[in-house]
Each structure stands twice: as C-alpha cells, then as structure tokens.
Amino acid sequence: MNATTSAFAEQMFRLRVHESIGQKYEDLFVAIMRKANKKFKPVKPHGPSGDHKNDGFASDTRAYYQVYSPEDIRRTQADALRKLKEDFSGLKKFWNGISDVRRYFFVINDRYHGVYPDIYKEIARIKKKYKLEEADVFLAQDLERCLLALPDKDIFSIIGYVPDIKPAEFLFLSGFTYFAGAWIHFEQAISRLGYSARRVPTFRALRELIASAIISEEEFTLLEYLRHLRNPLFHGDSNKLPAKADIDRLVQITTRISDSLPQAKP
C-alpha cells in the first residue's frame, strides 16, 4: 500500500473499532491476533464455566488476553477496574495448570480515549503480586499497530478491500470517516439517555433534548443541519461533508452528554 492507501486503511479500522461493542470487538481482536501470531489460540466459552476468564492465549510466549469492550469505556471504567481485579485470579487458577501464565494483557476497546490511571495501577499490582514477566493494558491503538504490521492481504481480509486512492479522494474519505464515527458516538450517547430504546425519531429526540436542557437551541440547529447532511451522505446520494469545525462541535456535544450520565460505582 502507498502512504495514502495506508492512511485510509487506518481510518477504516478506526471506524470499525468505534462500531464494535462487546463480542464484535472480541471477534475483531481474535481475527487480528490469529494473523499476527500463529501460536495464538482463541478460547470458546463452554458450559456454565465459560472461558475461565481467558479470551485467547499465545502458547509460545505464555501470554493471556482478556477482552473488555463496553458501549462507552469513559462511563464504565469502574466496571473495567472491578473486572480486572476479580477475573485475573480466576484465569490464573484454571489456566496455569494448562500453560503457565507468564504474561497478561487486559484488552480494552477504549475507542482511542485512553483509560484512567487506576487501571494501570491495578495492572502493575497484578504483575508484582503474581510475579509475571509482563502485564499491561492493550488499547485500540495497540490493536491497530498489530493490524497495520500485517501483510496487505491480511489487512484486507480483516477490514475489507482498501482502494488505491488519490490524496484528494483521501481527504473526502477521511472526512467521511470522521463524521460517521462522530455521529455513531452521538447516537450511542442519546441511546443511553433512553431515546433510541423508545424508537423516537431523531428530530423528536433532539427536541426532547432541548426540553430537558441537555442541548441549547443553537446546538439543536447544528445537529439538525448535520442530520440532514448525514442521511443522503451515508446512503450514497450526496458527497457533501460538514465542515471539520462542525464535526468537532458534534464531538464536544457528545462528550458533554456522555459526561453527564451517572458513573458506574466501583
């Protein structure tokens, strides 16, 4: 791949990450790891005992991976910390008798937001307590690096065919990817407020957000404008993109809505 095509492949992968929740992200992780390391073995849950806290391991390096991909890691980091604390001892108790645990990676779909310091602190505690050779958090950026280090044919098998595009075309496609990812995040945020569950049309949902003082009239106007651009653009009937500043504003609104939701208690 040339530089432009490689950059577009990166954008395609990042959109895939944003769309992947729960099992979908675990499937994406397993697909990439199987290409990256022939010794990687996925673990299929079985019966009431499940996978014994292990989503996959590399038999050559004795590295174990546990995947966590909530709808919004920023709102559920307390749950991530709880899972990390409770699950590793169960993993080691069962799997150490099969292939000794020397390395442990807590795989989180952070959607490129990062994770809080307490999670790194707990990983360091686990490494010290169990005398592991290595223990770390494995973020979306780490999975991206694994993917992009693969041969082109393997990259294509994961994210689909990447066209050989010109720089001008890449500018449009990267803008489309940014807008699509930002809009997906917005819909997820209002879903957590309950609007999607009630199948409220987006226009009505936006009016209800105003009524609840969650967005302003000015923000409503911007969101309506973006909504009208979104529908024909996403269905291939238009190539008109919003200005980057407008997409940036959408991201800011979504972040504020997400941050207003109750935090999960540890």
In a domain, 266, yes or no: no
Q: How many domains does the chain have?
A: 2
In a domain, 265, yes or no: no
- How far, in Å, are 24, 67, 143, 202 from residue 51 at the CA level? 17, 12, 22, 40
Angle between helices 202-211 and 217-234 (to 10 degrees): 170
Domain end among 157, 176, 211:
157
C-alpha distances in angstroms, 54 versus 25, 105, 251?
15, 10, 34
CATH code assigned at 82: 3.40.91
Mean pLDDT over residues 62-68, rounded? 90
pTM: 0.64
Higher pLDDT, 235 or 105: 105
Identify whether residues 189 and 109 lie together within a single domain: no
Shared domain for 15 and 138, answered yes or no, is yes
For residues 122 and 176, membership in a common domain is answered with no
- What is the pLDDT of the chain when averaged over all its residues? 83
What's the rounded Cα separation, in Å, for the pair 60 and 139?
A: 22
**Has residue 266 got a pLDDT over 60?**
no
Residue 152 lies in domain: 3-157
pLDDT tens readout for residues 206-230: 888 888 888 999 999 999 999 999 8
Whether residue 200 sits in one domain with residue 82: no
For residue 64, list its beta bridge partners.
57, 104
Nearest of 128, 7, 24, 121 to residue 70 by alpha carbon: 24
Asked whether residue 34 is assigned to any structural domain, the reply reads yes
